[in-house]
C-alpha cells in the first residue's frame, strides 16, 4: 500500500455497498414533518416503521459517495446504510447516541467518515473486523456492509449503545455476520477468542494514538492492522506514540487522507502489526492514567 500524507490524490473507484441522509428543510422532495415521538412509546426496531431520510440528506450522501469514488455501492447496501442512520436518528432523542441531530451532518460525520476506510481495507483483503468504541455503530457497521465483511464484532463499554447496535444489525439484515458486544478492550485482550485473532481492528474518536495502540494492537493478529480515524496535524501525536507502537509489536505506520467532503483534515492512520504483543499489555486503565497524569513518555519498555 502506498504511503501518503497531507492532501494526497483522489483514490480510484472501489467496488460495492453504501448509505444516505440530509437536512429536513423546505423544498426537500418528499420531505414531511416528523411528528414528535411519544416518550412512552417503544423505540422502533424495524426500518419499515421509520420515515425516509430527508431528500437533501439522501442527495448529500450520494454526492459524497461519488466524490469519494465509491458511488457504485449495491442498492441493497445503500438501503442498509441509510437504514442504520435512520434508526440512529430515531433513537437518539431518547437514548442520546450522538450529539448530531441534523441528518445531513450525520451523513457526513458518521456515514461518509466511516466509509473512508473502504479502499484501505479492500486493498488488504479485509473480510473481518473488530470495532472498538463503536458508539452508535460507527465505523464498524457501515464498513461491514460496504466491504462486505464475513464477520464483524462491534464493541462498546456502554450497554445502551450496544443495545442499539444489536437492533441496528438485525434491522439492516446483518444478523448472521455482525454482532454487538458490551465489553472493555482490556477484557477482550485477556480472552483467547479475541487476543491476536483479528485481521483488522478499527477505532474512531476513541483515544490518542499511544493509548489506542495499547488497547488495540493486542487484538490484531500478526500481519493485520489497526486503523484509527484522526485529524491533521498529526506530527506530534505520531511522534509521541512511536515508542508504544514499537513495543506493542507495530511496524509500519501509514497516514492516508480520508477524502470525505467537508472533512478535509480527516486522516486514517494504519498501523501494521509485525510481531506479537507482549503478554503484559494492555496495562490496567489506572496504570495508564497515572502515566498520563505524570506526563511520562509512553515507552512501554
Within a 10 A sphere around the Cβ of 153, how many other Cβ atoms?
Answer: 23
The pLDDT, as a whole number, for residue 289 is 83
Q: What is the spatial distance between Cα 248 and Cα 222, in angstroms, rounded to a whole number? A: 11
Q: How far apart are CA 241 and CA 213, in angstroms?
A: 8
Of 218, 212, 225, 258, the residue nearest 128 (C-alpha): 225
Distance CA 255, CA 267 (A): 7
For residue 47, give the DSSP letter: G
- Assigned fold of 111-294: Rossmann fold (3.40.50)
pLDDT of residue 292: 74
What pLDDT does 300 receive?
61
Candidates 103, 100, 156, 147; CA nearest to 128 is 147
Return the ∠ at Cα 99 (arms to 95 and 105), rounded to 5°: 125
Question: What is the model's pLDDT at position 28?
Answer: 36
**Under-70 pLDDT residues of the chain:** 1-40, 295-301
Q: What is the pLDDT of residue 159?
A: 97
Q: Quote the pLDDT of residue 38.
A: 57
- Helices (H) then strands (E): counts for the chain: 11, 7
Between CA 94 and CA 102, with CA 98 as vertex, the angle to 5 degrees is 95
Q: Mind listing the pLDDT tens digit for each residue in 18-34?
A: 333 333 333 333 333 44
Sign (positive or negative) of CA dihedral 133, 138, 141, 142: negative
Pinpoint the alpha helices (H) of the chain. 55-68, 75-95, 103-106, 113-115, 118-123, 140-146, 159-171, 185-189, 209-216, 235-247, 285-294
Q: Which residue has cell 476506510?
A: 117
Q: Hey, is 185 helix, strand or coil?
A: helix
pTM recorded for the entire structure: 0.84
Contact yes or no for 207/241 (Cβ under 8 A) = no
Going from N- to C-terminal start, the domains of the chain cover 48-102, 111-294
The pLDDT tens digits for 159-198 are 999 999 999 999 999 999 999 999 999 999 999 999 999 9
For residues 164 and 97, give the distance between their C-alpha atoms in angstroms, rounded to a whole number.
9
Amino acid at each position: 500500500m502506498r504511503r501518503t500524507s497531507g492532501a494526497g490524490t483522489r483514490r480510484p473507484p472501489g467496488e460495492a455497498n453504501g448509505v444516505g441522509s440530509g437536512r429536513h428543510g423546505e423544498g426537500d422532495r418528499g420531505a414531511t414533518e416528523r411528528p414528535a415521538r411519544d416518550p412512552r412509546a417503544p423505540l422502533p426496531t424495524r426500518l419499515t416503521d421509520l420515515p425516509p431520510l430527508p431528500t437533501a440528506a439522501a442527495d448529500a450522501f450520494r454526492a459524497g459517495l461519488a466524490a469519494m469514488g465509491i458511488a457504485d455501492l449495491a442498492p441493497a447496501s445503500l438501503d442498509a446504510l441509510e437504514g442504520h442512520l435512520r434508526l440512529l436518528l430515531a433513537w437518539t432523542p431518547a437514548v442520546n447516541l450522538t450529539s448530531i441531530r441534523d441528518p445531513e451532518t450525520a451523513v457526513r460525520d458518521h456515514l461518509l467518515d466511516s466509509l473512508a476506510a473502504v479502499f484501505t481495507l479492500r486493498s488488504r483483503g479485509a473480510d473481518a473486523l473488530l470495532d472498538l468504541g463503536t458508539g452508535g455503530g460507527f465505523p464498524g457497521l457501515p464498513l461491514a456492509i460496504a466491504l462486505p465483511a464475513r464477520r464483524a464484532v462491534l464493541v462498546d463499554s456502554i450497554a445502551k449503545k450496544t443495545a442499539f447496535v444489536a437492533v441496528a444489525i438485525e434491522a439492516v439484515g446483518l444478523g448472521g455476520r455482525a454482532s454487538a458486544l458490551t465489553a472493555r478492550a482490556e477484557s477482550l485482550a485477556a480472552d483467547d477468542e479475541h487476543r491476536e485473532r483479528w485481521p483488522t481492528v478499527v477505532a474512531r474518536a476513541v483515544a490518542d494514538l499511544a493509548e489506542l495502540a495499547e488497547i488495540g494492537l493486542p487484538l490484531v493478529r500478526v500481519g493485520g492492522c489497526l486503523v484509527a480515524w484522526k485529524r491533521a496535524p498529526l506530527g506530534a501525536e505520531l511522534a509521541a506514540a512511536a515508542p508504544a507502537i514499537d513495543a506493542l509489536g507495530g511496524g509500519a505506520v501509514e497516514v492516508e487522507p480520508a477524502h470525505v467532503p467537508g472533512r478535509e483534515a480527516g486522516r486514517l492512520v494504519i498501523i501494521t502489526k509485525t510481531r506479537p504483543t507482549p503478554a503484559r499489555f494492555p496495562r490496567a486503565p489506572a496504570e495508564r492514567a497515572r502515566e498520563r497524569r505524570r506526563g511520562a513518555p509512553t515507552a512501554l519498555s
